[in-house]
């Protein structure tokens, strides 16, 4: 909080001194003559919040309330066009929170959005950008009882309605009215009331905020893994060495599965080994990937579970060819709209293969995910391979586009 106050002071548009200079009354002189309190002065418009802050007599909340603060935030304008702009600090409406962002993490979805300029379901420009964050509450709107100023929280990127057909069946990830929140690449972010109510969690004291910010992507991974109905000891192939593929394989290894990581790049192969993969297949050839993966299973029979975490049709088809009779395939990576794949119906039918495709997360899984991070079993630190200031965001995305060994970069405002 002192850091924020300092910023406010730096940006203050008028000080007590200048007010005095212009012959107007100030809180100072009013107080000096015992004629008023700061509150009085504020009430009568004789002082500014800045001057009060300058003298340490008001809080950041007051400044936010009076709309006097501005902040730096990333605004998405279109394809590969993200600008760091000065925008007002949001105010909390009833039920909402304002969170000072401690860390916001880059994510494959954001990279996709950066490339395409939009995401039909999640973000339409111009809009504040970024969705994986943890931070500190600086303002709680009317009626918020679970959180207060100073609480360290992770606020998820979405929340289900809790009332529709899907929510009532416990399939909240498919909610007809899932709301999304963006704006993590900023100094402050507004958390809509539904997310405050359903998907904002207190971060345990011993968990760094940048680790807590992994709750959202990890929830997707845990959901996808559990949805594949694994058993300890199962041989599981994970196709794809991106952040989610690596998370998925780490989760599977922690669960006691024998993991085969199928990746393309050396950096991914190394990360996969560090995170618990028993075997790594590193190749760009689909046929070789299928053959080599099967070779790690008894009699080349195929894996118990194959999880596709790339989001391209070739990898979807590859996953089907890797799995054993009676096994499960999870198409976890989302392909571009309109993509079609070719699958041998005989193979699916006569080999009794289960096909699943898991999307997003539920409030229950999000809690599980934060617990896993807090347990210390999950190597959160291994997933954050870089740190950068908000104004370096464009450079960070350009770097991520040119494939390298970075997993996630923590953007610190």
Using CB under 5 A as the criterion, which residues of the chain lie in contact with Zn ion when the complex forms?
Answer: 107, 109, 132, 160-161, 164, 167, 175, 217
25 vs 161, which CB is nearer to Zn ion? 161
Tokens at 344, concatenated:
């041998």
| Contact between residue 137 and residue 148 where contact means Cβ atoms under 8 Å apart | yes
| Contact between residue 236 and residue 254 where contact means Cβ atoms under 8 Å apart | no
To the nearest whole angstrom, how small is the minimum distance from the Cβ of residue 309 to Zn ion? 13
To the nearest whole angstrom, how small is the minimum distance from the Cβ of residue 282 to Zn ion? 25
To the nearest whole angstrom, how small is the minimum distance from the Cβ of residue 412 to Zn ion? 17
To the nearest whole angstrom, how small is the minimum distance from the Cβ of residue 360 to Zn ion? 10
Tokens 């011993």 locate to: 206
3-class secondary structure, 190: strand
282 vs 361, which CB is nearer to Zn ion? 361
20 vs 161, which CB is nearer to Zn ion? 161
161 vs 278, which CB is nearer to Zn ion? 161
For 281, residues 6+ apart whose C-beta sits below 8 A from its C-beta are 260, 261, 262, 263, 288, 289, 292, 293, 296
To the nearest whole angstrom, how small is the minimum distance from the Cβ of residue 238 to Zn ion? 18
173 vs 268, which CB is nearer to Zn ion? 173
To the nearest whole angstrom, how small is the minimum distance from the Cβ of residue 103 to Zn ion? 13
To the nearest whole angstrom, how small is the minimum distance from the Cβ of residue 111 to Zn ion? 10
109 vs 369, which CB is nearer to Zn ion? 109
Query: Closest Cα partner for 51 from 40, 38, 37, 61?
Result: 38
164 vs 335, which CB is nearer to Zn ion? 164
For 10, residues 6+ apart whose C-beta sits below 8 A from its C-beta are none
Helix (H) or strand (E) holding 186: none
Task: Give the Cα separation of 253 and 244 in Å (integer).
Answer: 14
Task: Give the Cα separation of 302 and 294 in Å (integer).
Answer: 5
- What DSSP string runs through 289-327? HHHHHHHTSGGG--EEEEEE-S-SHHHHHHHHHHEEEEE
| Contact between residue 105 and residue 213 where contact means Cβ atoms under 8 Å apart | yes
């Amino acid at each position: 909080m002192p850091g924020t106050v300092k910023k406010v002071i730096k940006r203050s548009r008028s000080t007590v001194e200048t007010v005095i200079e212009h012959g107007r009354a100030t809180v100072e002189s009013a107080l000096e003559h015992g004629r008023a309190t700061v509150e009085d002065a504020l009430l009568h418009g004789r002082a500014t919040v800045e001057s009060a802050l300058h003298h340490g007599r008001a809080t950041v909340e007051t400044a936010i309330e009076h709309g006097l603060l501005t902040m730096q935030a990333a605004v998405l304008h279109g394809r590969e066009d993200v600008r760091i702009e000065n925008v007002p600090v949001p105010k909390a409406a009833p039920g909402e929170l304002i969170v000072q962002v401690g860390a916001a993490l880059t994510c494959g979805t954001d990279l996709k959005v950066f490339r395409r300029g939009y995401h039909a379901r999640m973000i339409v420009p111009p809009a504040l950008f970024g969705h994986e964050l943890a931070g500190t509450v600086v303002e709680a709107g009317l009626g918020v009882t679970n959180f207060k100023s100073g609480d360290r929280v992770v606020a998820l990127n979405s929340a289900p309605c809790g009332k529709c057909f899907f929510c009532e069946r416990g399939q909240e990830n498919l909610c007809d009215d899932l709301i999304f929140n963006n704006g993590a690449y900023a100094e402050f972010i507004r958390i809509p009331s539904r997310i405050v109510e359903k998907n904002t969690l207190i971060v345990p004291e011993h968990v760094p905020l940048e680790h807590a910010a992994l709750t959202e992507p990890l929830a997707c991974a845990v959901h996808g893994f559990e949805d594949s109905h694994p058993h300890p000891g199962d041989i599981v192939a994970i196709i794809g060495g991106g952040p989610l593929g690596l998370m998925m394989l780490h989760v599977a290894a922690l669960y006691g599965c024998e993991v085969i990581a199928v990746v393309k790049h050396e950096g991914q192969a190394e990360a996969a080994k560090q995170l618990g993969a028993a075997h790594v297949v590193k190749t760009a050839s689909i046929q070789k990937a299928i053959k080599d993966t099967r070779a790690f299973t008894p009699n080349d029979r195929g894996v118990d579970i194959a999880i596709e975490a790339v989001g391209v049709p070739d990898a979807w088809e590859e996953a089907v060819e890797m799995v054993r009779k009676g096994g499960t395939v999870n198409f976890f990576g989302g392909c571009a709209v309109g993509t079609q794949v070719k699958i041998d119906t005989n193979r699916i039918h006569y080999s009794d293969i289960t096909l699943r495709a898991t999307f997003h997360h539920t409030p229950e899984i999000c809690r599980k995910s934060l617990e896993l991070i807090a347990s210390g079993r999950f190597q959160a630190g291994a997933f954050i391979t870089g740190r950068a200031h908000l104004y370096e965001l464009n450079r960070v995305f350009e770097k991520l586009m040119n494939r390298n060994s970075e997993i996630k970069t923590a953007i610190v405002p």
